[in-house]
Amino acid sequence: MQGALITSAVGSYPKPDYLVRARNAFAQGKLEVAELRRLERQATEYWVRVQERVGLDVLVHGEQERGDMVAFFAGEPGGVVIEGMRLGGLVRSYGNRYYHKPIIAGKLRWPGPMTVDMWRYTQSLTDRPVKGMLTGPYTMVEWSFNEHYPTREAAVMDMALVIREEVKALVAAGCRYIQIDEPAIHTRPEEDFDLAVEAFRRVVEGIDCEFHTHICYGPIEKIYPGVLRLPVKQIHLAFKNTNYQYLKLLEEHPWPADKVLGVGVTDVHNHKVESVEEVVEGLRLVLKLLPPQQVWVLPDCGLKTRTPEEAEGKLRVMVEGVRQLKRELELE
Amino acid sequence: MLTTVVGHYPKIPNRPRPARLRQAIARYERGEISREELARIEDEVTIEVIQEQVEAGIDIVSDGQIRWEDDQTYIARRLHGFAINGLVRYLDTNTYFRQPVVRGQVRHPGEPFLVRDWRFAQEHSPRPVKAIVTGPVTLARLSQDESYGSHERLVMALAEALAPEVKALAEAGAPIVQISEPLILWHPEDLPLLRRALATMLAGVACETALYTWFGSIERIYPQVLELPVTTFGVDLVSQPRNWQVLGQHPFPADRKLAAGIVDGRNTRMEQVEEIVAAVRHLSRIVPPDRLYLNPSCGLEYLPREVAQAKLQRLAEGARAARQQLGVEA
């Protein structure tokens, strides 16, 4: 998409209480799948209207049907199942938080469209473009156990083919922007970075669509400027959470003219809603290094851990900050 | 040739068994139960996981580090001089810990804080229980230093602060004290410093001591690491298969033991008994069986509880088969 300081979001929004209850009931076998789907769509429509009301340019569907970004594709209750994957037992991620870690137990195969229905439904609600949302092959494998493939590389490269089929299905349905998240890409930056890039290439190569990626939290300094090798139009990073320190990296190695920088301007791990001024000040720093046509403005990450009010507030200050800057710069 | 574990064990089982500790912590955080009630459940779960290790056939068990949120903060919260900060990723895992921040002089609090845990575990275990302490290099490398301004001084301060604890554990009767030092693999330049730190930390400690590493390559510290003043060196042979070659390139000293991590603590794929026997056969060419421990490649909390126990069972089976085939005694 062409334009200056285009606003969008990273992926998830908080689920309303009725949907949280419905998901629990469904997991316990106490709710029909049709009813779950109806409530997911109701919640999705709510977030479409919020995004329209706030004034985002490019919308996300809000991932109301997903729990975890990997387990959703591996058979979490209400989710879909890539052939060869299944859900494993509970593993602790930190503190008192546990998740069902998926297992790659067989040859990975695309099971048919997994995200197309929800994308199509969301797009039918609005005139604004809605992004397709997928998890990248490296992250899918890194966050799963591997009982089938002899090496991580073999699993990642097969997973890339699965994700590629899903990309093709989304594009065939009319999707023009697809964000493929790779938050695990910096887990082993020395050892595995080439593999992650090669797998990403296998996902998108030769497909006519605008691709974005989102990489959050972690040692970005270890993968910059290497990350620019990812075959995407836009790379989004969590700037706010790190107080715009990534700009130092961009000062050392300039951002290339053919890529868009997605700038996270609101911290999704903080309950406080930022002021419009904070957003404007942050973006001013970015615009010292990049023209506004090369910058998209988003929250740092998915907003699912905030309350609905906080999430909307964080979108609102973002859009207002962008409007203010555009007036100043006489961009519209 | 004894079997053992590297440290932690999954805190909760899967359905239909109840996730008692998870529920208790959630209730404690909501103010619904007291600290004492939570401690009682931690004790019960500790007994449960000791039983699981014993049932699996492990010779030297641990308390599963059930009370530990992670390897760093359980110690840092109990020493003087630390605050606890936000979440950071633990090495190349998808698990996170709260980063300790060194805010003042690091000191031991006076009363031992691990001895009660060890004693409780040993009282409830028919097998020897090893005590576990996170090492000074790892603690320093995974903390944020706002006080010392010198890595070396911080490591030495940590060694001094931990010395009374190790001594108290040994005096209480711990048969083995394990020092967990994975970060030495990422910072081989710290090896001379670790040597001095361990000399301080283990001065006057009479029991067997072990230095365990995991996840990384030992190439840059081996064989020099065997000069450290500990009996046993623990190496992960799963994450880094090349560690096999590195081990094989040098003669293993007669006054040291090797703890070989040969069962994958990070993947649910089950090892076959024959694989374990083959690994032991290979190891026995490097070090005689009476100076060899067999264990998983790392702590087991990266696995679901049932898989963790199955892995230990398989390890014990493999060890039994290997003893028979090699004609050695346990």
3-class SS letters over chain A: CCCCCEECCCCECCCCHHHHHHHHHHHCCCCCHHHHHHHHHHHHHHHHHHHHHHCCCCECCECCCCCCCCHHHECCCCCCECEEEEEEEEEEEECCEEEEEEEEEEEEECCCCCCHHHHHHHHHCCCCCECEEEECHHHHHHCCEECCCCCHHHHHHHHHHHHHHHHHHHHHCCCCEEEEECCCCCCCHHHHHHHHHHHHHHHHCCCCCEEEEEECCCCHHHCCCHHHHCCCCEEEECCHHHCCCHHHHHHHCCCCCCCEEEEECCCCCCCCCCCHHHHHHHHHHHHCCCCHHHEEEECCCCCCCCCHHHHHHHHHHHHHHHHHHHHHCCCC
Q: How far apart are CA A72 and CA A68, in angstroms?
A: 6
Q: Is B174 left (phi over 0), alpha (psi -120 to 50) or beta?
A: beta
SS3 B213: coil
CATH code for residues A6-65+116-139+152-328: 3.20.20.210
SS3 B80: strand
Question: In this complex, do B302 and A147 lie within 8 Å of one another by their Cβ atoms?
Answer: no
CATH code for residues B2-326: 3.20.20.210
Residue by residue, pLDDT tens for chain A (332 residues) are 889 999 999 999 999 999 999 999 999 999 999 999 999 999 999 999 999 999 999 999 999 999 999 999 999 999 999 999 999 999 999 999 999 999 999 999 999 999 999 999 999 999 999 999 999 999 999 999 999 999 999 999 999 999 999 999 999 999 999 999 999 999 998 889 999 999 999 999 999 999 999 998 778 999 999 999 999 999 999 999 889 999 999 999 999 999 999 999 999 988 899 999 999 999 999 999 999 999 999 999 999 999 999 999 999 999 999 999 999 999 87
What was the pLDDT predicted at A2?
Answer: 84
Using an 8 Å Cβ cutoff, are A189 and A229 in contact? Answer: no
Q: Which amino acid is at A248?
A: K
What was the pLDDT predicted at A254?
Answer: 96
ipTM score here? Answer: 0.95
Length of chain A: 332
Q: Give domain limits for chain B.
A: 2-326
Contact list in B for residue A95 (CB cut-off 8 A) is 69, 98
Q: Which residues of A touch B (CB under 8 A)?
A: 88-96, 98, 101, 103, 142-143, 145-147, 184, 187-188, 218
Residue B288: other Cβ atoms inside 10 A: 15
CA distance B306 to chain A (A): 8
Residue by residue, pLDDT tens for chain B (330 residues) are 999 999 999 999 999 999 999 999 999 999 999 999 999 999 999 999 999 999 999 999 999 999 999 999 999 999 999 999 988 899 999 999 999 999 999 999 999 999 999 999 999 999 999 999 999 999 999 999 999 999 999 999 999 999 999 999 999 999 999 999 999 999 999 999 999 999 999 999 999 999 999 999 999 999 999 999 999 999 999 999 999 999 999 999 999 999 999 999 999 999 999 999 999 999 999 999 999 999 999 999 999 999 999 999 999 999 999 999 998 875
Question: In this complex, do B87 and A94 lie within 8 Å of one another by their Cβ atoms?
Answer: yes
Q: How far is CA A241 from the centre of its chain?
A: 16
Question: In this complex, do B305 and A89 lie within 8 Å of one another by their Cβ atoms?
Answer: yes
What was the pLDDT predicted at B248?
Answer: 95
What was the pLDDT predicted at A218?
Answer: 79
Give, as one character, the DSSP assignment of residue B147. S
SS3 B185: helix
* B174-231 per-position pLDDT tens digit: 999 999 999 999 999 999 999 999 999 999 999 999 999 999 999 999 999 999 999 9
SS3 B155: helix
Question: In this complex, do A89 and B92 lie within 8 Å of one another by their Cβ atoms?
Answer: no
What was the pLDDT predicted at B86?
Answer: 86
Q: How far apart are CA A4 and CA A328, in angstroms?
A: 13
What was the pLDDT predicted at A77?
Answer: 95
What was the pLDDT predicted at B121?
Answer: 98
Closest listed residue to residue A133, CA positions, set A202, A211, A16, A17: A211
Question: In this complex, do B304 and A88 lie within 8 Å of one another by their Cβ atoms?
Answer: yes
Closest listed residue to residue B243, CA positions, set B277, B220, B275: B220
Q: How far apart are CA B208 and CA B202, in angstroms?
A: 10
What was the pLDDT predicted at B330?
Answer: 59
User: What residues are paired with B179 via a beta bridge?
Assistant: B133, B211
Using the Cα atoms of residue A240, residue A244, residue A245 and residue A251 in order, give the sign of their dihedral.
Answer: positive
CA distance A168 to chain B (A): 29
Contact list in A for residue B22 (CB cut-off 8 A) is 96, 98
A-contacting residues of B 84-143, CB under 8 Å?
A: 87, 89, 92, 94-98
